[in-house]
Amino acid sequence: MAETPASALQRLDAATAERWGLVNRVVPSADLMPTAMDYARRIARNAPLAVQAAKELALRSRDMDLSSGLRMEQAMNRLLQFTADAKEGPAAFSQRREPVFTGR
């Protein structure tokens, strides 16, 4: 496979990337780390197995065709649906409390 010449690559400015949904948010450089840490804290509050699965799917799907990626996602969802955390999320929501995820 031939490499794409650099002249063929189009650079996007931050506002365009945000408008197209390629980035979550554009912030001044001074706010970058506090904003990134806020996102990290919000991700860390989620069920650890689900976060781990999402990361694994994101990494592996880069090298897969769409059909294979969707099959892998379905398999991961089937595995996760029987975890204690999968029960804890809806239970906490219905009881109007913060979930306590255990990673099981």
By the 8 A CB rule, do 45 and 97 touch? no
d(CA 72, CA 51): 15
Report the percent of the chain where pLDDT is more than 90.
71
Task: Answer yes or no: is pLDDT of 2 > 80.
Answer: no
What is the average pLDDT value for the chain, to the nearest integer? Answer: 90
How many angstroms separate the Cα of 52 from the Cα of each of 17, 58, 59, 62?
26, 10, 11, 16
Task: Answer yes or no: is pLDDT of 78 > 90.
Answer: yes
Q: What is the pLDDT of residue 6?
A: 57
| Domains of the chain and any CATH numbers | 14-44 (no CATH), 48-104 (1.10.12.10)
By the 8 A CB rule, do 89 and 95 touch? no
Using one digit for the tens of pLDDT, what is the confidence trace for 30-40?
999 999 999 99
Using one digit for the tens of pLDDT, what is the confidence trace for 12-32?
888 898 899 888 889 999 999
